[in-house]
Amino acid sequence: MANNVFYDNQAYGIQLYPQANDVICVCNTVDGGVTRGGTVVGSESGLTDNVTIVGMIGTNAPWYCIDLYDPASGDAGNNTYDSLGFGNGSGDFRAGTGMTYTNCTHADPLYVNRAAKNFTLQSGSPAINKIQSARYGYVPPTDIDGKVRVTADAGAFAF
Amino acid sequence: MIEVRGSYLRFRGLDVGFGTIDGIKINVSANNIEVDHCLIHNAALNGINIQDSPANIQIWNNRV
The residue count for chain B = 64
- What is the pTM (predicted TM-score) of this model? 0.95
Q: Are A81 and A135 in contact (CB under 8 A)?
A: yes
Pairing relationship of beta strands A105-106 and A84-86 according to DSSP bridges? parallel
Cα angle A123, A129, A134; round to 5: 175
Domain around A101? 5-138
Residue A153 is assigned to a structural domain of this protein: no
Residue A129 is assigned to a structural domain of this protein: yes
Instruction: Please count the structural domains in chain A.
Output: 1
* Chain A CA closest to residue B52: A19
Coil, helix or strand for B48? Answer: strand
B62 touches chain A (CB under 8 A): yes
Whether B44 has a pLDDT exceeding 90, the answer reads: no
Give the nearest partner residue to A4 out of B43, B50, B61, using CB atoms. Answer: B61
Residues 6+ apart with CB under 8 A from B11: B2, B4, B24, B33, B34, B35, B36, B38
Coil, helix or strand for B11? Answer: strand
Whether A147 has a pLDDT exceeding 90, the answer reads: yes
pLDDT score at B38 = 94
* Chain A CA closest to residue B38: A4
A34 touches chain B (CB under 8 A): no
Whether A6 has a pLDDT exceeding 90, the answer reads: yes
Question: Which tens digit of pLDDT belongs to each residue from A50-90?
Answer: 999 999 999 999 999 999 998 888 899 999 999 999 999 99
- Delimit the domains of chain B by residue range: 2-60
Question: Which tens digit of pLDDT belongs to each residue from A32-52?
Answer: 999 999 999 998 877 889 999
Query: How far, in Å, are A54, A94, A99, A126, B7 from residue A49 at the CA level?
Result: 15, 17, 9, 29, 24
**How far is B57 from chain A, CA to nearest CA, in Å?**
8
Q: Are A38 and A63 in contact (CB under 8 A)?
A: yes
Per CB-CB distance under 8 Å, the chain A contacts of B44 are: 10
CB pairs under 8 A between A and B: 40
CA count, 13 A, side-chain hemisphere, A73 = 3
Determine which of A4, A27, A120 to mutate to test the interface with B (most B C-beta atoms within 10 Å): A4
pLDDT-derived band at A126 (thresholds 50, 70, 90) equals: very high
When computed from its CA atoms, the radius of gyration of chain A, rounded to whole angstroms, is 14
Residue A86 is assigned to a structural domain of this protein: yes
Under DSSP, the state recorded for A142 is: B
Q: What's the complex ipTM?
A: 0.89
Whether B53 has a pLDDT exceeding 80, the answer reads: no
